Amino acid sequence: MKRILTVDLGNSAAKLVVWSLDAAPRPLLSLRWVPGQDARALRELDCPRALLSSVAAPSVRAELECALPMSLHVPECGLAIDLPEPDRLGRDRLFAARGALELCRRQANGNPPESSSAQALILDAGTALTVDALGSRGGEPAFLGGAIAPGPELLSRAVGRGAAQLFEVETRGLELERVPALGRSTREALESGIVHGLRGAARELVERIAQSAGLEQAPVFLCGGAAPLLHDARLFPGHALHLEPLLVHRGLLAADRASS
């Protein structure tokens, strides 16, 4: 069985996925690794190749590389970057956009994947909330830019540390149905501000960026740990909504396949 490992190394953790490549790429195993954590499971991974998207500090990347039994390769994303400082752009944003391009091409009726263009909005709700635009420049798929806002954890941290009588709340595991907008305690009010504030920010950013980039009818692709809080078509009227937890990983696979 042909296998490959994809690694999305973020600010606080890494998500690793082992894929079967015998037919269409199929995830076989997913692992989450936190810097400083026991890396025994990583050392046992059996893949000939590994692809990396990283926005982490060099020391964290070095720790991960020491733990893995194979070297890490960063493929070219295969997108034009219509920005004045392309080298400062986070790789996770680029590979998420590349993953959205791949999925759009698969959905295009009657067009071969290599030639069909795509438009999309990519919303990644992790440590940060990013909303990015995928379009075209000169007939080629292009990353057009986007917005970066705090994600749930950063929102909690900022409120808890910025006010003497407030505190941080645990954001992992928050569910929309269990967080009333009308908080009746300080904790409930903080949770409401984080969850419903995040939803409001995502809705406004998608609307504004879609208008700015001419993507008013483009599909929206959701990924990131807090994506379930935003998986609600009512937030993004006029846009088809797709929840794709492995979007960065699919972008890595697509980019590597195109460059090989």
Per-residue model confidence (pLDDT) at position 139 = 86
pLDDT per residue as tens digits for the range 129-145: 999 999 998 889 999 99
Catalytic site residue from 92, 124, 132, 256:
92
Tell me which residues of the chain have a pLDDT lower than 70: 109-117
Q: What pLDDT shows up at residue 156?
A: 95
Instruction: List Cα–Cα distances, 243 to 150, 153, 228, in angstroms.
Output: 20, 20, 8
Q: Tell me, what's the pLDDT at 108?
A: 75
d(CA 114, CA 137): 16
What pLDDT is recorded for position 114?
A: 47
230: which DSSP letter? G
Task: State how far the Cα of 118 lies from the Cα of 121, in Å rounded to an integer.
Answer: 10
51 closest CA partner among 19, 74, 28, 29: 74
Q: Please tell me the distance from the alpha carbon of residue 140 to that of residue 29, in angstroms, as a whole number.
A: 34
pLDDT of 164 reads 87
What three-state secondary structure class fits 67?
helix
How many angstroms separate the CA atoms of 123 and 128, rounded?
10
Q: Which domains does the chain have, with CATH numbers?
A: 1-74 (3.30.420.40), 78-260 (3.30.420.40)
Please confirm, yes or no, whether 92 is among the known catalytic residues.
Answer: yes
